[in-house]
Each structure stands twice: as structure tokens, then as C-alpha cells.
């Protein structure tokens, strides 16, 4: 795919806006709708918003870090940008599809690039039944919640909840409890990316939960269905010496 027509997008931060002005002055650019590649300037949060915005177009996204962590971003450098983009390696990601049904029977569908999380929305712990491929695998989890993470999202919320880091290309999803009370020592599970996960909320009238797919929130959810969406395809571009797979490996050896 050609990568000649570049569009620049930036978060509202001062650093990102300054980078946007500098790059637009230096390089020819087009509107995002006409671009072969989008250069996103900001942090991981802005990158996720950009990927969601242009997911259906299939336009590759090359990020440069003007935020804090920048796990999904390349280093910011103004020199040689077209060459860097042409030489970049591709990482293909498939998001999670979520359908959350609330206590009124209304359903909301959303996509998640990082994770789908179901968390308590009151002072009481959530009670959740876990069903995998139509079979009940855990009758009752008592916890602050549970999440399902993609490989790309395994270093985000999943990692902070003590979940495993999942290598890119492993065809695995991480199912991770959040502050589990019962079973106390349960650490979660690794699932095939073809798995269908259903989370049934028990005692939802007394223990309400919040279902979140990246930034889409559904309150008072009673049932949440999750599976990988193969019809959606996201292309991230990374400098060859520091691609996403290498970052995930490095993360596992960082104290």
C-alpha cells in the first residue's frame, strides 16, 4: 500500500500542537480522508481515539509520542519522516467486540482495542458468572471486576491488575480478575482469540456494575458478551528497531 499522502492529527496538549505546527510547515500534507497514512501526535489515549475514528477506513496509523507513556507510539523526530514511514513495519490488530445489555434490556455494542472491563459501580463487590463458549467456567467470581484484554492491551489496565503480558501474534486473550475476593487465589486465564466470553452479573440490583469497552461505558449492565472481531482490521506502523512485539518483550524484563 502506498504511504505517500500524509495527514497529521494531534491531541490538544501544548507539545502535540507544537509538533503539529512544525510538521505541517515542513511536510506536504492532506486531509485524513485522502491520506495513505495518518501521523498521530500525542499519547496512547489519543492514539486509541485516532484508531477508533479511522478503524473502518483501514488507513495505517504511525504515532509519534508527544504524551507520557507512549507505548503505542514511535519516538518523536522531525527529520526524515517520509523515509521512516516507508520503512516502518506493520502490526495488524483486531479489536474486541462487546455487547452489553443493561437492566432495562437495552443493548449497546462497541469495539475495544485494549480491553473490555466489567467493574463494580457501587461500594459492594461485583458478583459475576463467567461463561466460555457456552459453558459455565466459574459459577461466581466475587471481585472488583474482571477484564478481557487483547495482546496490544495486555500491557495497559490488564498489567496493572496483575494480568499476563501477551505477545503480539499469539492469538491469545487475557481474562484477568480485578482484586478478586473469591476465589481468592484465582489469577485469571488465557483464552484462544476465537473464544466467546459471556459475563452474567449476579445480584445486579444490589451490586451494579459498569461495562467499558475502551471509552464506551454502559452502566447497570446485567450481561456482557465479548469476542474478537475479525471483520475489523487495524494497521499500526512502527520503526523497525522498536516495533510493538519488541516493546512487549522489553516490558516483561523491566523492573
Residue 44 is a catalytic residue: yes
Out of 31, 36, 44, 121, pick the active-site residue: 44
Average pLDDT, the chain: 93
Question: Residue 191 maps to which CATH number?
Answer: 2.60.200.30
Q: How far apart are CA 117 and CA 52, in angstroms?
A: 17
Residues 143 and 196 in one domain: yes
Q: Using CA atoms of 238, 241, 244, 245 in order, give the dihedral in degrees to the nearest 10.
A: 140
In this prediction, residues 235-244 reach a mean pLDDT of 83
Q: Edge to edge, what strands does the sheet with 61-65 contain?
A: 6-10, 37-42, 61-65, 234-238, 89-93
Same domain for 43 and 66, yes or no, is yes
**Could you tell me the residue range of the domain that residue 57 belongs to?**
6-94+233-251
Are residues 132 and 86 part of one domain?
no
Regarding whether 240 and 134 lie in a shared domain, the answer is: no
Instruction: Examine the domain organization and report whether 246 and 181 are in the same domain.
Output: no
- Shared domain check, 177 and 101: yes
List the one residue out of 116, 95, 126, 96 whose CA is nearest residue 201: 126
Can you tell me the mean pLDDT for 107-130? 97
- Determine, yes or no, domain membership for 237: yes
Q: Summarize the confidence of residues 218-233 as an average pLDDT.
A: 96
User: Grid coordinates representing 26?
Assistant: 515542513
| Cα–chain center distance at 110 | 12
- 71 within a domain of the structure (yes/no): yes
User: CA distances (Å), 158 to each of 4, 7, 60, 182, 235, in order?
Assistant: 36, 32, 25, 19, 22
Q: Is residue 1 part of a domain?
A: no
Number of compact structural domains in the chain: 2
Confidence of residue 246 (pLDDT cuts 50, 70, 90): confident
- The answer to whether residues 215 and 106 belong to one domain is yes
For residue 15 the three cell numbers come to 507539545
Residue 172 has pLDDT above 90, yes or no: yes
Task: Check whether residue 222 and residue 237 sit in a common domain.
Answer: no
Q: Which residue has the higher pLDDT, 90 or 246?
A: 90
Judge if 29 and 105 occupy the same domain.
no
- Residue 17 phi/psi, 5-degree rounding, is -65, -35
How much is the pTM?
0.87
Whether the pLDDT of residue 248 is over 80: the answer is no
- Taking the CB of residue 205, how many other CB atoms lie within 10 A of it? 9
Identify the residue whose cell numbers are 447497570. Answer: 220
Same domain, 86 and 177: no
- pLDDT above 80 (res 12): yes
Domain CATH number, residue 71: 3.40.50.10330
In order, the DSSP letters of 171-201 are -EEEEEEEEEEESTT---EEEETT--EEEEE
Clarify whether residues 100 and 223 are in a common domain: yes
- pLDDT tier for residue 68 given thresholds of 50, 70 and 90: confident
Supply the pLDDT for residue 170: 86
Q: Flag whether 127 is in a domain.
A: yes
Asked whether residue 109 falls in the same domain as residue 177, the answer is yes
Q: What angle do CA 178, 182, 185 make, to 5 degrees?
A: 75
Q: Which three cell numbers stand for residue 17?
A: 500542537
> In this predicted structure, what is the pLDDT of residue 56?
87
The reported pLDDT for the residue numbered 1 is: 63
Amino acid at each position: 500500500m502506498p504511504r505517500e499522502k500524509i495527514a497529521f492529527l494531534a491531541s490538544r496538549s501544548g507539545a502535540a500542537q507544537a509538533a503539529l505546527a512544525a510538521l505541517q510547515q515542513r511536510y506536504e500534507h492532506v486531509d485524513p480522508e485522502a491520506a495513505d497514512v495518518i501521523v498521530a501526535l500525542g499519547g496512547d489515549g489519543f492514539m486509541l481515539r485516532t484508531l477508533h475514528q479511522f478503524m473502518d477506513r483501514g488507513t495505517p496509523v504511525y504515532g509519534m509520542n508527544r504524551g507520557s507513556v507512549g507505548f503505542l507510539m514511535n519516538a518523536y523526530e522531525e527529520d526524515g519522516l517520509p523515509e521512516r514511514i516507508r520503512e516502518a513495519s506493520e502490526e495488524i490488530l483486531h479489536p474486541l467486540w462487546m455487547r452489553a445489555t443493561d437492566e432495562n434490556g437495552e443493548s449497546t455494542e462497541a469495539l475495544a482495542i485494549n480491553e473490555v472491563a466489567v467493574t463494580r459501580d457501587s461500594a459492594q463487590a461485583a458478583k459475576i458468572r463467567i461463561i466460555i463458549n457456552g459453558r459455565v467456567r466459574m459459577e461466581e467470581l466475587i471481585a472488583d471486576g474482571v477484564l478481557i484484554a487483547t495482546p496490544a492491551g495486555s500491557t495497559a489496565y490488564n498489567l496493572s491488575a496483575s494480568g499476563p503480558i501477551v505477545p503480539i501474534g499469539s492469538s491469545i486473550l487475557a481474562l484477568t480478575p480485578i482484586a478478586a475476593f473469591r476465589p481468592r487465589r484465582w489469577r485469571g486465564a488465557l483464552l484462544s482469540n476465537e473464544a466467546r466470553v459471556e459475563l452474567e452479573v449476579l445480584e445486579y440490583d444490589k451490586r451494579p456494575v459498569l461495562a467499558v469497552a475502551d471509552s464506551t461505558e454502559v452502566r447497570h449492565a446485567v450481561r456482557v458478551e465479548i469476542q474478537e472481531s475479525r471483520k475489523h482490521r487495524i494497521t499500526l506502523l512502527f520503526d523497525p528497531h522498536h516495533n510493538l512485539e519488541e516493546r512487549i518483550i522489553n516490558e516483561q524484563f523491566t523492573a
